[in-house]
Structure 1
């Protein structure tokens, strides 16, 4: 009868994705020479793991055997370390000795956890969480600087909160453009108390007739037309002036003689016709 639970016994964890039965998994654990190492820092290197677990192997086998290989756990998406590893020994005895002496100790300022593993298979080195890492990091609510800071769900919640704050700030900034102060009374159009302001970009000032006339006079085409009109008026004035000069030199008697000559000519014409 054991008063204390042995440190080299496997835990109750079972691989949910394994098709083997519980009895088959238990038998595999009893003869396994592979350890699962968890709660590692994302920055812990393979050399650090090898240095620690190689010491346990040397003391157990008297210098024989040792660490066969180390498989680092990787993020499924980024292919970066995500906080776990598999350590394979040459003999099951070395694995149990490492489980007894190493599990619960510190590596890279973190308390690591070790457990017997039924055996590494290709594909198990990748995280099974939705974000690509381990499942335990998906639901972690506390901040852990050695494992990427906040958990995946906490990061998503923080990101959504920041997006909502950013949208609220943008709405507040651009909403000020619709709040136009009326003047000294400091009344705002947005509140329905200010004066409606027309769009300055489309509003055009009315033009008076005087301004249009000034622009036409400055136009060279308009000036040429005015000059032509002045020339025509000048020619007409010269003709009327010549006629007036001709009539000014004729006396009343000359006019009467001319009228008498015209009457005689008309009478001669009538007699000839008769």
Structure 2
């Protein structure tokens, strides 16, 4: 049997490093890769905003003893925003989580795990402009477990709604103004948007 085939048979694709690298890592790619290869910390993504730390602990403790869990937070609201970090005491237990928990369901969502170079203070916060994760800024579909529509889509709807409200109000005002110009015997109280019409006595 050739050496290449033996290597392929012995490989464990479930625990190999992915292509993802943290662009905010303070160091070069070589240093980050070294840390990833010996890390006991996993990044866990695609969580529901409603999944609790207790649920995560219950699931991930099946592969080994957990040292700590750090919940991902919206940096504005300080509420859960769909990711976390799970740190094990040993690399072997973290590898088991990669093998057996990655791709399973939690709160009816398929979660994904990946190696993390190690938690640093500040990384628990979302990196999106609105405070959550970047993926939730641009999402166009409705996801009940992650706050509904994406933040940009929500903002667009709000802006459109306010614009429509302004258009309606302007239209109502202009309509009343034209009406008042045509009938001079009426006066208007300018407490917009509630327009009070007062009938004046006819001039002598």
Larger Rg: 1
Larger helix share, 1 or 2: 1
TM-score by length of 2: 0.84
Confirm or deny that 1:23 pairs with 2:30.
Answer: yes
Alignment of 1:26-175 (within 5 A): 26-57=33-64, 66-175=65-174
How far did residue 5 of structure 1 move? Answer: 6.6
Q: Distance in 2 between matches of 1:204 and 1:111?
A: 76
Alignment of 1:155-234 (within 5 A): 155-180=154-179, 196-201=182-187, 205-206=203-204
Cα distance per residue 1:107-126 (max 9 Å; x no partner): 11000000010100011000
Unpaired runs of 5+ residues, structure 1, are 58-65, 182-188, 190-195, 207-274
SS in structure 2 at match of 1:116? strand
How far did residue 177 of structure 1 move? Answer: 1.1
Unpaired runs of 5+ residues, structure 2, are 188-199
Q: How many pairs does the alignment contain?
A: 185
Q: Distance in 2 between matches of 1:205 and 1:21?
A: 87
TM-align CA RMSD:
1.9
TM-score by length of 1: 0.64
SS in structure 1 at match of 2:98? helix
Using the TM superposition, name which of 166-175 and 12-21 deviates more: 166-175
Q: Distance in 2 between matches of 1:16 and 1:56?
A: 29
How far did residue 199 of structure 1 move? Answer: 4.4
Match of 1:9 in 2: 16
- Taking CA–CA contacts closer than 8 Å with sequence separation of 6 or more, which of the two structures ends up with the larger relative contact order? 2
Q: Distance in 1 between matches of 2:18 and 2:77?
A: 30
